Structure 1
């Protein structure tokens, strides 16, 4: 809930400042994202696959001065994913995962021509997984958050009478994800630990039709691989009973959204 409040504060603050800064441009977007998460063991055997569609909202503000551009954006996507995994015994286990993804991003760009924009930025990423229990098998809740660093370029790949088309490519470097795990019915004590640093990439293709200059359509793809974490102590009532680990996992998403400039 605190992430939603931050998102609302971001939007309110930016909109209220529009009259004072004529150079600001504001964008709202609605879209849908097909997200997957694949977890593998140390032998590269698949342990878990989550997949499904997540609807979401985005907001972005750009401030341009000369050749420089500063952007501030936020997004929230959420919904249910299908969870296909297995228990520690090796038996198959299928359920649903209620998930929510939230990001806040700040970027700085410099135009080196009217068609090419160099970009660099930072981002805070929050990811919540509520893996639902089934029958006698209890569920658990996981919350991840990390800082990311972005660098890349946006370039116009087509300039036609009917539309301009832009391609954006970003390299993403993530700090270790901080992970908090809570078990249903307090089966075990909650656990806090960190995953590994990670590298990923993002690509986006945006079509800006000239017949409706305030509207554009963007399709994007992102990928990130996060290495297996170190073992963390699992306890019950303060007494150690074993260890827990976050396996190596790959997060991927492909989405489409409609953006409106106001």
Structure 2
């Protein structure tokens, strides 16, 4: 959402109940994974992975005429965890990831004035996938994913800030295939179609100048690709590069109020989320 100048504005620094709940979910997930790893010897069909990497993420907001309003861009370090359970040709995967950091915000205020600042960003996901091997080289995949995205756009000068929190459910479908089998390494390519429910957006304004606003975007379709190299000399280590893209339609107008009295409307513009990353994965 574009920045506001007074009486409109950007950034709110409180931690709300929803954020704390999502972080508790993540901690509980890590505890679950740790417990499963501890008991691995009793469950030979389980495999566990941890990964650390960095993601170059961008967000572009577009007005109703197709002109750019805002672009955020920058590097986000992060951690990922995954547990696989295989039984015959079937594979069940539970995964979680968290990435965060500061992005550069290049945009404009609602009045059209150029505005630059930083956005403190956190991205959190929990994923469940089911796969079936149709050969030793091809794995069909389908799954669901819960995506949480927080943007804390920092105010500067007379332009204040706002905090935005998005969450949505995604449905995933695609396949993983081995594209190279060599003496030194195996290389796998994964492609997924991503269908997202409408993003539910909560906006909190700096200094509580306006009341909290709640919006919903349009449903969206995106894509995700990953190329993983598994060196045979280091069987527990692999390197993966991935790319994702999603275009989300503009939300409807929501009432903007102050002290319960309507003062205008607010909307989330159409936006495009993209990211390219690289990570090192370790199998326990």
> Once the 2 structures are TM-superposed, how far is the Cα of residue 171 of structure 1 from its aligned partner?
0.1
Find runs of 4+ consecutive structure 1 residues off by over 4 angstroms. none
> Structure 2 length normalisation: TM-score?
0.91
Give the Cα separation in 1 of the matches to 2:246 and 2:69: 17
- The alignment partner of 1:185 has SS state of helix
> Once the 2 structures are TM-superposed, how far is the Cα of residue 8 of structure 1 from its aligned partner?
2.4
Q: Which has the higher strand share?
A: 1
Give the Cα separation in 1 of the matches to 2:205 and 2:34: 40
> Once the 2 structures are TM-superposed, how far is the Cα of residue 13 of structure 1 from its aligned partner?
1.3
Question: What are structure 2's unaligned runs of at least 5 residues?
Answer: 1-19
In the alignment, structure 1 residue 53 sits paired with structure 2 residue 72:
no
Larger RCO of the pair (alpha carbons < 8 Å, separation 6+): 2
Q: For residues 28-73 of structure 1, give each alpha carbon's deviation from its aligned partner in whole angstroms, at most 9, with x where no partner exists.
A: 0000000000000011000000000000000000000000000000
> Once the 2 structures are TM-superposed, how far is the Cα of residue 193 of structure 1 from its aligned partner?
1.5
- Out of 249, 254, 262, the position equivalent to 1:227 is 249
1:151-230 to structure 2, matched below 5 A, reads 151-230=173-252
Report the RMSD for the aligned CA atoms in angstroms: 0.8
- CA contact under 8 A between 2:215 and 2:268: conserved in structure 1? no
Q: For residues 88-112 of structure 1, give each alpha carbon's deviation from its aligned partner in whole angstroms, at most 9, with x where no partner exists.
A: 1111010000000000000000000
In the alignment, structure 1 residue 29 sits paired with structure 2 residue 72:
no
Q: How many residues align?
A: 262
- The alignment partner of 2:134 has SS state of strand
> Once the 2 structures are TM-superposed, how far is the Cα of residue 11 of structure 1 from its aligned partner?
2.2
> Once the 2 structures are TM-superposed, how far is the Cα of residue 21 of structure 1 from its aligned partner?
1.9
Give the Cα separation in 1 of the matches to 2:22 and 2:252: 28
In the alignment, structure 1 residue 90 sits paired with structure 2 residue 117:
no
